[in-house]
Amino acid sequence: MTAFVVRRLAGLVPVLFGVSLLIFFITRIIPGDPAIAMLGERGSEQTLERLREELGLNRPLFFDATGFRTSGRLVQLFDSQYFAYMKGLVRGDLGRSVFTRVDVSESLRKRFPATFELTLVAMFFAMVLGIPAGVWAALRRGTIVDTSVMLLALSGVSFPVFWLAIMLIYLFAVTLGWLPPSGRLDVSTQLQPLTGLYVLDGVLRGQWAASWDAIKHLILPGIALGTIPLAIVVRMTRSSMLEVLGQDYVRTARAKGLEERSVVNKHALRNALLPVVTVVGLSFGTLLSGAVLTETVFSWPGIGRWVFDAIAARDYPIIQGGVIFVALIFVLVNALVDFSYALIDPRIQYG
């Protein structure tokens, strides 16, 4: 097991290197100039050149036209934008925002807990409802219950996230007034963050009203963000359960006279969870990187909207740092999913 873990973690290095190289290229081919975006079209050429030099944008990406001469290639590589970018990554320095001049690492530290907390709520919503619904549909295959559950699952995938978010706000915030429409806390709530996870911070500081306020702010965006993974979890659980329920060991357990609840929970469900766990891991990583629409509609101060705004502003350090950080979280989550297989099914052995 230890050897497998070491090999699995070592395999993450080339993946992250490939992501870093790819995002460096993509950011440089985005049309536009950060210097012009900062100064506007009326900035003088001298001012633009001075700003490009300050930001390092006047350096070659790798080599300029003369850099293909063997004598100058290595020198130019060390003075290139790519070398400075990789040197910063190795040191853990993601650079500073082109516009705000704030460290990208500091911004990530402040914004990641918001996205992480929202993702946890969305996945909790998807799993708590999705797994029982999938099992229920599988046990009643071909009935009106099965059809209704699958119809709801199909609707969850079909509804656009932004439309569902707006409908939730209109119904529960505007019409009924039960829940807040946006943000993480009410303006009247004072909470000094410890971890950045406001629900947990309120508990740690003994401010139960702040925790409850944070929970109320999480409900609507959590439902909107968790609808698609909920539909996926329902369909995957149903499919996996139908396959397992047809296995010989399930029929044998029933023939021995075991209660149906014991057959389903102890024999069928545990063996059906492996593909569900895989889907949950992939969905978790996807939500961390793809919550742009939800964060925008609910004015949620997370990573998705932050990176999206940086793309529009040609803020290279934020784009690079945000994407690499999300990629790191994504591959780590999938590694943890691989490690969890042996805990769910003891028959699995890692060579």
Domain boundaries, the chain: 2-91, 112-344
Terminus-to-terminus CA distance in the chain, angstroms?
7
Under 8 Å between Cβ of 279 and 334: no
Q: Which CATH class is domain 112-344?
A: mainly alpha
Q: Which string of b and e fits 105-125 if b means at least 16 CB within 10 Å?
A: eebbeebbbbbbbbbbbbbeb
Q: Determine the pLDDT at residue 6.
A: 74
Under 8 Å between Cβ of 304 and 290: yes
Question: In the structure, what pLDDT confidence band is assigned to residue 217 with cuts at 50, 70 and 90?
Answer: very high
Closest-CA residue to 116 (of 234, 265, 235, 225): 225
Closest-CA residue to 194 (of 103, 110, 295): 110
For 195, the 3-state DSSP assignment is coil
Whole-structure pTM value:
0.80
Lowest mean pLDDT among 42-56, 138-152, 232-246, 281-295: 42-56
Q: Determine the pLDDT at residue 67.
A: 43
Say yes or no to pLDDT of 209 above 80.
Answer: yes
Output the average pLDDT for the chain: 80
* Cβ neighbours for 217, distance < 8 A, ≥ 6 positions apart: 179, 180, 183, 184, 185, 186
Higher per-residue pLDDT: 223 or 293: 223
Say yes or no to pLDDT of 206 above 80.
Answer: yes
Say yes or no to pLDDT of 77 above 60.
Answer: no
pLDDT tens readout for residues 86-130:
777 777 777 778 777 788 888 888 888 898 899 999 999 999 999
What six digits make up the tokens of 287?
């939500």
Q: Determine the pLDDT at residue 213.
A: 92
Under 8 Å between Cβ of 325 and 32: no
* pLDDT (average), residues 315-332: 83
Question: In the structure, what pLDDT confidence band is assigned to residue 350 with cuts at 50, 70 and 90?
Answer: low
Say yes or no to pLDDT of 66 above 60.
Answer: no
Residues across the chain? 351
Q: Which amino acid is at 84?
A: A
- Spatial separation of the C-alpha atoms in residues 13 and 30, rounded to whole Å: 26
Percent of the chain with pLDDT over 90: 14
- Spatial separation of the C-alpha atoms in residues 153 and 146, rounded to whole Å: 11
Q: Which amino acid is at 174?
A: V
Burial classification of residue 168, based on how many CB atoms lie within 10 Å of its CB (0-12 exposed, 13-18 middle, 19 or more buried): buried
